[in-house]
Amino acid sequence: MGLVSYTRSSIGRKQLMAVTGLLLSLFTLTHMAGNLLIFVGADAYNAYGHALVSNPFIYVAEAGLVVLFFLHLFLAANLTLEARRARPVSYALNPKGARGGVSIAAKSMILTGLLLFVFVVLHLRTFKYGAHYSTTVDGKEIRDLYALMLEVFRDPIYVAWYIFSLLGLGLHLSHGVSSTFQTFGWNHPGLNPFLRRAGSIFAWLVMLGFSAVPVFVYWKG
């Protein structure tokens, strides 16, 4: 099968969506791990942020993330519309049978995806393009992201919005990560429960890691 035929096929687009989703999931994990440096201290957190933005490959990495993000969004919308055209009327009975059926995470993938799109836009505006404070670490003047975090997460409304969005992220990841492997053929009655648990563990890890930061900052005052 040629590349054009592959990308036009349903399975090809599903696999591309799975790959882009998996890469974005790995990015969220590394981003969460970096955010946890705020518990080490202001200098460690600011030095980490400066190391990222001063890397000469930062623009290539950011461009790649933008491409992954919008390609994933486009493929998700395209496949959803295709599925609805093929089956305009919902099944009267749950196709999964009596053992629980389709999960809430699976049913809400479009809604949580839209929520995450809004969240990412606001997140970039707030932090990447937000207020610029300066500090000195090891004799070098750099951006004080720690101060910005303290300022932003003083607002209980923003903290509530942030955690609500992370709940959406958790739902999205819990289904997305496990279904990624099933898309590539790892679909077996004995393996599926393990994949679902693995997806849930990954989602909880990322969600709780991200949530710890605003909660810590808010209660710290």
Q: pLDDT band for position 22 (50/70/90)?
A: very high
Mean pLDDT lowest among 25-39, 101-115, 144-158: 101-115
Question: What average pLDDT score do residues 53-73 get?
Answer: 94
Residue with token string 């992954």: 68
Res 98: pLDDT: 40
pLDDT class of 52 with cuts at 50, 70, 90:
very high
Residues 6+ apart with CB under 8 A from 143: 46, 49, 50, 53, 132, 133, 134, 135
CA dihedral sign, ordered 176, 177, 180, 185: negative
Q: Kindly report which listed range (73-77, 100-104, 213-217) carries the lowest average pLDDT score.
A: 100-104
Helix 192-220 vs helix 10-35: crossing angle, to nearest 10: 40
Tell me the C-alpha distance between 49 and 101, whole Å: 43
pTM of the predicted model as reported, rounded to 2 decimal places: 0.86
pLDDT-wise least confident of 77-86, 158-167, 180-189 = 180-189
Structure-block tokens of residue 46: 């600011």
Asked if residue 148 has pLDDT above 90, the reply is yes
